[in-house]
Each structure stands twice: as C-alpha cells, then as structure tokens.
Chain A
Amino acid sequence: MTAGESKSQRKKSAETGKDQPAKGQSRASVSLLLGSWFLPGFGHLRLGKKRRAGVFAAVIFCAFVTGVLLHGEIGTPKPESPFSWLATFACLGNGVLAIGRLVWLNGLGGLLGGFPFGLQGGGSPSAAGFAYGNTFLYTAGLMNLLAVLDVSDIARGEKD
C-alpha cells in the first residue's frame, strides 16, 4: 500500500466519523483501543460487532464479579515483590471495573495519593476462595486485553 492510499483511507475514516474496518489500514485509532480497554465490549460495539461486544462484556463482567465475591485481591504493586507488577497489569486489564474497585477500596484521594505502592487491593488471603478469586480477576483482565487486540485487528481490516 502506498503512502497516498493510506492517507486517503485515513481521510475517509475521518469523514465518516466512525472506526469502521478498512482493509489494509495500518493502525487502529488510539481512542478506540483505549475505549475498548476501559469499557469491555465498547470497541466491538463501535465496530458494529454487537453480539461479540455483548458476549465479551458479559463474560468479563461475570468473571470479575465472581473474583470479587470470592474475596480475590485486585493486584497492586508491592516494593518487595516484583511479580506483583504482573498481577497489577493483569487486573488493570479490566478497565473501569478494576479502577472502580480500587476507588471503592481506597477512595479517589487514596487512589491518587497512594499510587503506586500505597494502594489496597482488597481481598482476604485467609478466605478459602482467595486464590480462586485472584484467578478469576486475572483471567477477566487478560481476556479484556485480548479483546482489545481483537478490536485492533478488526479495525485494521485483518479480521472480520
């Protein structure tokens, strides 16, 4: 694809005002990907994939709520544990769900003031479902991140 073609496709996309898939488009818009991360299912909905959007949103929401109900902990960075950053990454994949839970636990002031090492992730390590809850929370976040990559593929015309 030439630079001229790419430019004309971007112009066409801007004229329509939607992030419709365009065959060979080089990259998806940042706002679409951020929206897809922040609100599970949003990206697919924007691209006209209503059923997939609904299923992804429902699955991720159910997994997240199950994790919280099982007393799972939202991953937060801990200075003595470098691997806690991986748990943080996985949990933040839940977008608004994880951020909302952190605000619920820490308050908005605590969230902003305690970042990164002073945050409380909730959960109860002594609860029987703690490990299961964590697994559900990580899985939900990673599934949402995969959905974001799927949105990117669809927006670039690489996938239906």
Chain B
Amino acid sequence: MDHLLLLVWHALLVSIFFAFLWRSTAVGRRNLFLKTFLIMVAGAASLGWLMFPFP
C-alpha cells in the first residue's frame, strides 16, 4: 500500500469536490483546484518531513 498515492488520491477527490462546490466558472474551478490540491499534498509532505527529527 502506497501511502503517498493514497494521500494524492484523497487530495485529488477533495479538491475536485470543493472546486465544483465553491466556484461556478471554469477558470475559478481550475484555480481553486490547483490551490487546494497543492496545499494539501505539499503541506502534508512538508509536515511529514518536519516530523522526521521527532521520535
């Protein structure tokens, strides 16, 4: 089981959902999708990396 793949898959589904829920134009949806997707994936990876030194 690839944890990163699951993270990306979850972020993808949630980002698509909220892009269609909160925006009504194609450009607005694309921008919100990219923003939320990148924040979730990069944020989770960064947080994981920052937690490396802790036991």
Nearest residue (CB) in A for B3 is: A132
A63 to B6 alpha-carbon distance, docked (Å): 11
Determine if A59 and B17 form an interchain contact, defined as CB atoms under 8 angstroms apart. Answer: yes
Contacts of B51 in A (CB 8 A): none
Query: Which bracket fits the contact residues of A?
Result: 20 to 34
Determine if A55 and B1 form an interchain contact, defined as CB atoms under 8 angstroms apart. Answer: no
A45 to B46 alpha-carbon distance, docked (Å): 39
Identify A160's interface contact among B9, B16, B21, B24, CB under 8 A.
B24
Determine if B24 and A56 form an interchain contact, defined as CB atoms under 8 angstroms apart. Answer: no
From A14-22, A74-82, A106-114, A139-147, the one touching the partner chain is A139-147
A160 to B17 alpha-carbon distance, docked (Å): 16
Determine if B10 and A56 form an interchain contact, defined as CB atoms under 8 angstroms apart. Answer: no
Looking at chain A's contact residues, the main secondary structure is helix
Identify A52's interface contact among B6, B10, B20, CB under 8 A.
B20
B44 within 8 A of A: no
A119 to B13 alpha-carbon distance, docked (Å): 29
B14 within 8 A of A: yes
Q: Which of B1, B20, B24 has the largest count of A CB atoms less than 10 A from its CB?
A: B20
Determine if B1 and A139 form an interchain contact, defined as CB atoms under 8 angstroms apart. Answer: no
Contacts of B20 in A (CB 8 A): 51-52, 55-56
A53 to B10 alpha-carbon distance, docked (Å): 19
Q: Which of B3, B9, B10, B13 has the largest count of A CB atoms less than 10 A from its CB?
A: B13
A160 to B22 alpha-carbon distance, docked (Å): 10
Identify B16's interface contact among A59, A66, A139, CB under 8 A.
A59
B28 to chain A, nearest CB (A): 12
11 pairs, A vs B, C-beta closer than 8 Å: A59-B13, A63-B13, A66-B9, A128-B1, A129-B6, A136-B10, A139-B10, A143-B17, A146-B17, A146-B21, A160-B24
**A residues whose Cβ falls under 8 Å from a Cβ of B:** 51-52, 55-56, 59-60, 62-63, 66, 70, 128-129, 132, 135-136, 139, 143, 146-147, 150, 160
